[in-house]
Structures are given as structure tokens and as C-alpha cells.
Chains A and B, each alone.
Chain A
């Protein structure tokens, strides 16, 4: 049984455990083929090690203090940088989060410039009013909707509906409703209030008036109005203060 190449290499490199090395040396002493391999391997190792010394230069005289000082300086620089970044992050956070800070607008503008998206108006769009009101009543055989306008620029949008009730609603505040038998009074208190009025086709008669003036009349699905309905079938009627 001969030694394999790895075993021989380990033997000449001193990598075998003491007992293994002893056994290997005994074997090499009595086995000519293994001895030849071991001698050749040792010769290779010695030759290569010798040739490599041709590349050697004296090591520079560097003291450990140099290493320690450079490491400390680098650590200090790293710490300074870290502190700087943290401080910058804190300042940026405060600048963005502070009430009334223009930074958010600047950032938004910058992002929009980069992305090319349309810039939002500097003045925010008014929120839609949600405090409108409405009423629905049974028209009965004859029903009058009386408009009392104390403001300017109001309008009616009248349309037919298949419901059974007259429905009047406004999308914003400024209208007061008073309902009595066969009559609904709508007082417009603010300018430019638009009333949407739905009239049942089945209602025998519904009249919309403003003071003495009749604005619209519907009788069993037929309407009499100062103007023809629009493409969407609604009648748009302006109201002015008396």
C-alpha cells in the first residue's frame, strides 16, 4: 500500500498529525516508489521556495502605532460623517414637518419639474360644499312651488321624474324650505343658488312661481316653460331677486 499524493504533500509540509507523520516516514523509508515521490515533492517545494526569494524586498519599517493611528483617524472620520448625516436628516425632517414650512412646496415643485407632471394650483380648489338641503313632497292633484328669492344669480333646473313625489334640492346652503298642503315655499337667501327640481310625470298639475310670475308649469307629463328643454331634458330657468 503506497502513500497517495496528498499524503506525501502533507508529510513534506508538516501537515500530518505526529502519529501519522511517524507512520508515513517509516513507510517512505522502506518503500522505494513512495520515497522517490516524496523526494521529488520535497525537491519541488524547496526549489519553488528558493526561487520565490528572488522576489523579496525588505519589509518597510512600519510601527504598529501607525496602524492604530490610521485606524483611529478613519474611525473618527466615519463618526464625523455619521454625525453629519444624522444632523442633516434631523434638520430635513424638521424643515419638512414644521407648520407652514415652504420645503414641502419646494420638494413638490422639484418633483413635478423632474416628472413633468402638471403643477397644482398654488391656491387650493374650494372644497365642494356638502351642506345642501332638499325636500320631497306628495304633489296631490295640484301643487305649487313658490320661489322667494332674496339674492341674485339663482337658477332652477327642472326635470321630469318617474317618482311619485316632487323633489327639490340644492347642493349648497342658502335655501329654506316651507311645506304646506299643496304648496312648497323655497326661500333663496344666498346668491347663485341652484335648485334642482324633479316633477313626477304622473302629477296632474305642478306649478313653479316666483311672486306673480309663473316660471314653469307641468301637467301630466307636459310642460310649459319660457324656454325649450336642453339636450338632457332639463329646463334651466334663471331667477332674480324681485
Chain B
């Protein structure tokens, strides 16, 4: 079943309670545009956290929205669909990216400019990359406020298992982060 977004007027009480709320279907383009405004920054943040590469994250998030636009209709759960597409794109990109990074590391010296706290960033990135893929994805998506239902759909999990998986992943992250801090003195 395809989902149709409705305009904001749908949720407004028409008053008197007599006429039912009228769903005013917007054009598909408008629906995608609304989703883009709502979810692009969030999707970019998720992909940026997972990839550690803001340009790649922007490309992945854009590509997910382009594919949604090309699809011509909205899926049942657009947020989960977008995550799923972006994750798959990232998975395909991951091997290439690692290969490229190894090559660049051989020829390019590290530059000083970076985020405000590069040491903390490096540590968080290292801890995150040390976790299993499913844990990484769960943590990042959950931290962005995605619902269990969307996590389950996007990652192919049973929704009833999401809470337990998340608890384990958080504990694992905390433990690894603590070890990382201890190791650095």
C-alpha cells in the first residue's frame, strides 16, 4: 500500500465535528519536498556519523532522495525506506571508500584543520567502527530519534528485538569508549 501525505489542514479540527477531515492530497513532488525538508539533515547526520565523511554523507542522502523522487510514489514508511536505501548505498561505497582511504593515507599527510575536538572525534569514530555493523547502525539511528519500527524495517530486524539489541549495543559502546580513554591515559 502506498502512503499519501496530506496537508497540514488534515489534522486541524474542522469545527463542529460534522464534516470529516478532508485529506487534501498534494502532488508527489510536494510530498517529497516536505520529506526532504524534514529528513535530509537527519539522514545526512546519520550517514555522516556512520561514514565519517560529510561529503559522502551528503551524496548518499541526496541519492536516497533522488531515488525516492524517481520512484514516483511514496513507500509505506518513507523514513525507513530512505534509511534503507542510504544504508545500502553506503554499504556499496564502504569497500571503495576504505580502499581509497588507504591509498590516500600513503601519499597525503594529515592536515591540521578539522573539527573542534579532533581527538574525541577520532576516539568516537574508532569505537563506533569497532562495533558490529548492526550495532553501529542501531546506535546512530536511535540517537537520531528514529522509531523502533523504522529501525526494524530499515535494518531488517524484528521490531520486538530492537530494544534488546540497542541495550547491548549501548553497553558495548560505553565499554569500548571507556577502554579507549583508559588506553590513551
Stretch of B6-14, B90-98, B118-126 contacting A (4+ beta carbons < 8 Å): B118-126
Q: Chain A residues with Cβ under 8 A from B166's Cβ?
A: 9, 13
How many Å lie between the Cα of A58 and that of B121 in the bound state? 15
How many Å lie between the Cα of A125 and that of B100 in the bound state? 63
Q: Is B143 a contact of A52 with CB atoms below 8 Å? A: yes
Q: Beta-carbon contacts of A60-76 to B below 8 Å, as 1s and 0s?
A: 10101011101100110
Q: Chain A residues with Cβ under 8 A from B173's Cβ?
A: 44, 48, 51
A59 to chain B, nearest CB (A): 4
B81 contacts the other chain (CB 8 A)? no
Q: Beta-carbon contacts of B23-66 to A below 8 Å, as 1s and 0s?
A: 00000010011001100110011001100101001100010011
B147 contacts the other chain (CB 8 A)? yes
A137 contacts the other chain (CB 8 A)? no
A128 to chain B, nearest CB (A): 62
B83 to chain A, nearest CB (A): 16
Contact residues, B55-91 vs A (CB, 8 A) = 57-58, 62, 65-66, 69-70
Q: Is the interface of A mostly helix, strand, loop or mixed?
A: helix
Q: Chain A residues with Cβ under 8 A from B140's Cβ?
A: 52
How many Å lie between the Cα of A45 and that of B173 in the bound state? 10
Q: Is B124 a contact of A62 with CB atoms below 8 Å? A: no
Q: Is B54 a contact of A57 with CB atoms below 8 Å? A: yes
A10 to chain B, nearest CB (A): 5
Q: Chain A residues with Cβ under 8 A from B41's Cβ?
A: 59
Residue among A8, A41, A60, A66 facing the most chain B CB atoms (10 A cut-off):
A60
Interface residue from A52, A60, A75 paired with B58 (Cβ < 8 Å): A60
Q: Chain B residues with Cβ under 8 A from A212's Cβ?
A: none
A112 to chain B, nearest CB (A): 42
Q: Is A57 a contact of B170 with CB atoms below 8 Å? A: no
Q: Is A74 a contact of B54 with CB atoms below 8 Å? A: no
Q: Beta-carbon contacts of A138-166 to B below 8 Å, as 1s and 0s?
A: 00000000000000000000000000000
A-B contact pairs, 24 of them (CB 8 A): A6-B160, A6-B167, A8-B163, A10-B148, A10-B163, A13-B148, A15-B163, A45-B142, A45-B170, A47-B174, A47-B177, A48-B143, A52-B139, A54-B124, A55-B124, A56-B48, A59-B40, A60-B54, A62-B40, A64-B37, A68-B29, A68-B32, A68-B69, A71-B66
Q: Closest B-chain residue to A6, C-beta based?
A: B163
Q: Is A9 a contact of B124 with CB atoms below 8 Å? A: no
B15 contacts the other chain (CB 8 A)? no
Q: Closest B-chain residue to A40, C-beta based?
A: B171
B164 contacts the other chain (CB 8 A)? yes
Q: Chain B residues with Cβ under 8 A from A8's Cβ?
A: 163, 167
Q: Is A59 a contact of B44 with CB atoms below 8 Å? A: yes
A49 contacts the other chain (CB 8 A)? yes
Residue among B62, B123, B163 facing the most chain A CB atoms (10 A cut-off):
B163
Q: Chain B residues with Cβ under 8 A from A179's Cβ?
A: none
Contact (A52, B49) CB under 8 Å given A13-B142, A60-B54, A66-B62: yes
Q: Is B69 a contact of A49 with CB atoms below 8 Å? A: no
Q: Is B171 a contact of A44 with CB atoms below 8 Å? A: yes
Q: Is B66 a contact of A70 with CB atoms below 8 Å? A: yes
Residue among A7, A51, A67 facing the most chain B CB atoms (10 A cut-off):
A67
Contact residues, A65-120 vs B (CB, 8 A) = 66-68, 70-71, 74-75
A5 contacts the other chain (CB 8 A)? yes
B156 contacts the other chain (CB 8 A)? no
Q: Is B139 a contact of A48 with CB atoms below 8 Å? A: yes
How many Å lie between the Cα of A221 and that of B41 in the bound state? 109
Contact residues, A3-47 vs B (CB, 8 A) = 5-10, 13, 15, 41, 44-45, 47
Q: Chain A residues with Cβ under 8 A from B29's Cβ?
A: 68
Interface residue from B32, B57, B128, B163 paired with A9 (Cβ < 8 Å): B163
Q: Chain A residues with Cβ under 8 A from B54's Cβ?
A: 57-58, 60
